[in-house]
């Protein structure tokens, strides 16, 4: 089982939650979202990891928002973790980022498009941090065995795998829930990235679309088939978010969703 510092409610029997804004837009915004989600997850006894990208490297257009500055955003993530005594997670994109980001966060995330990049996986593993690898939209769940092997063979057994859908044509994604079952067979926690799996990429406008009305559907099905964790990007006003606005969950809808998911988890366990 993975070991994540500061992860509370470990023995609650609930799924764990990775949630937060797509990108760190500022300190006040990050602290506000973290506090609101922590209050919810504490009440529901859901283990919680705060998510925020310190930099967005995979953007459709050159004028898309990429971040507020690496060090500034990483220090905000560090402050969130310290102030609320919670673990934090952020993406890395190149090998030299692994050691840098590891000084500020508890979990390093490998983006889906980079899940086969051996040097990046090895660099993340060698930090000793938990490594969350997102399954590529172009891969089966079975193929993610090799990502797990690369990290474990580098001396790090703390691996999480996250599904975020599969490419369906040029501008859509679908979720094949067999991938959750396949990835769980590797003996690592498996997460469903609900909001990213509802993206509609490669739009002619250069801005990714989304179908947030299906967030409840995707999340419920994932818990029903045995996902260990749920990944959700959320924002107080998604339309004003600087990244992934089209597929984020309004923050005021998170509590109700989590309550529904707990009931499904309990029914499946029972």
Fold of the domain spanning 16-269: TIM Barrel (3.20.20)
Please give the residue that has the higher pLDDT: either 213 or 30.
Answer: 30
Please give the residue that has the higher pLDDT: either 174 or 66.
Answer: 174
pLDDT of residue 1: 57
Closest CA to 88 of 100, 99, 80: 80
Please give the residue that has the higher pLDDT: either 80 or 64.
Answer: 80
pLDDT of residue 97: 96
pLDDT of residue 2: 75
pLDDT of residue 260: 97
Cβ–Cβ < 8 Å for 127, 96 = no
Instruction: Provide the pLDDT confidence category of residue 199 given band limits of 50, 70 and 90.
Output: confident
Instruction: Provide the pLDDT confidence category of residue 200 given band limits of 50, 70 and 90.
Output: confident
**pLDDT at 63 > cutoff 60:** no
Contacts of 259 (CB under 8 A, 6+ apart): 44
Please give the residue that has the higher pLDDT: either 17 or 55.
Answer: 17
Please give the residue that has the higher pLDDT: either 7 or 20.
Answer: 20
* Distance separating alpha carbons of residues 71 and 189, to the nearest angstrom: 30
In the chain, the percentage of residues whose pLDDT exceeds 90 is 76
pLDDT, averaged across the chain: 91
Contacts of 236 (CB under 8 A, 6+ apart): 29, 32, 33, 250, 251, 252
State pTM to two decimals.
0.93
Please give the residue that has the higher pLDDT: either 9 or 216.
Answer: 216
Residue 17 token pair: 């939650």
One DSSP character per residue, 190-243 reads: EEEETTGGGEE-S-TTSS-EE-GGGHHHHHHHHHHTT-SEEEEEEESSGGG-SS
Instruction: Provide the pLDDT confidence category of residue 7 given band limits of 50, 70 and 90.
Output: confident
pLDDT of residue 242: 78
Instruction: Provide the pLDDT confidence category of residue 124 given band limits of 50, 70 and 90.
Output: very high
Please give the residue that has the higher pLDDT: either 181 or 67.
Answer: 181
Convert the pLDDT of each residue in 205-230 to its tens digit: 555 556 778 999 999 999 999 999 99
Q: Mean pLDDT throughout 251-268?
A: 96
Convert the pLDDT of each residue in 150-159 to its tens digit: 999 999 999 9
Most confident by average pLDDT, 169-173, 224-228, 246-250: 224-228
Q: Mean pLDDT throughout 137-165?
A: 97
- Residue 267's φ and ψ, nearest 5 degrees, are -65, -45
Q: Mean pLDDT throughout 82-102?
A: 97
Residue 82 buriedness (CB in 10 A; 0-12 / 13-18 / 19+): exposed
């Amino acid at each position: 089982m993975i070991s994540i510092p500061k992860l509370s409610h470990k023995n609650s029997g609930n799924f764990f939650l990775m949630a937060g804004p797509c990108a760190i837009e500022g300190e006040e915004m990050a602290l506000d979202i973290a506090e609101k989600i922590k209050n919810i997850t504490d009440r529901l006894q859901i283990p919680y990891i705060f998510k925020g990208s310190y930099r967005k490297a995979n953007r459709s257009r050159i004028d898309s928002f990429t971040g507020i500055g690496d060090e500034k955003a990483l220090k905000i993530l560090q402050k969130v973790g310290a102030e609320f005594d919670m673990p934090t997670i952020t993406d890395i994109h190149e090998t030299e980022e692994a050691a840098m980001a590891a000084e500020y966060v508890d979990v390093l995330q490998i983006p889906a498009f980079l899940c086969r990049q051996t040097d990046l996986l090895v660099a993340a593993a060698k930090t000793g941090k938990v490594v969350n690898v997102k399954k590529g939209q172009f891969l089966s769940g079975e193929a993610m065995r090799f990502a797990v092997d690369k990290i474990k063979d580098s001396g790090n057994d703390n691996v999480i795998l996250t599904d975020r859908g599969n490419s369906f044509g040029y501008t859509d994604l679908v979720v094949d829930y067999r991938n959750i079952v396949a990835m769980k067979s590797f003996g690592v926690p498996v997460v469903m990235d609900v909001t990213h799996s509802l993206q509609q990429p490669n739009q002619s406008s250069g801005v990714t679309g989304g179908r947030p009305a299906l967030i409840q559907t995707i999340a419920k099905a994932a818990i029903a088939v045995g996902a260990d964790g749920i990944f959700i990007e959320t924002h107080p006003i998604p339309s004003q978010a600087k990244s992934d606005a089209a597929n984020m969950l309004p923050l005021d809808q998170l509590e109700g969703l989590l309550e529904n998911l707990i009931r499904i988890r309990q029914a499946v366990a029972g």
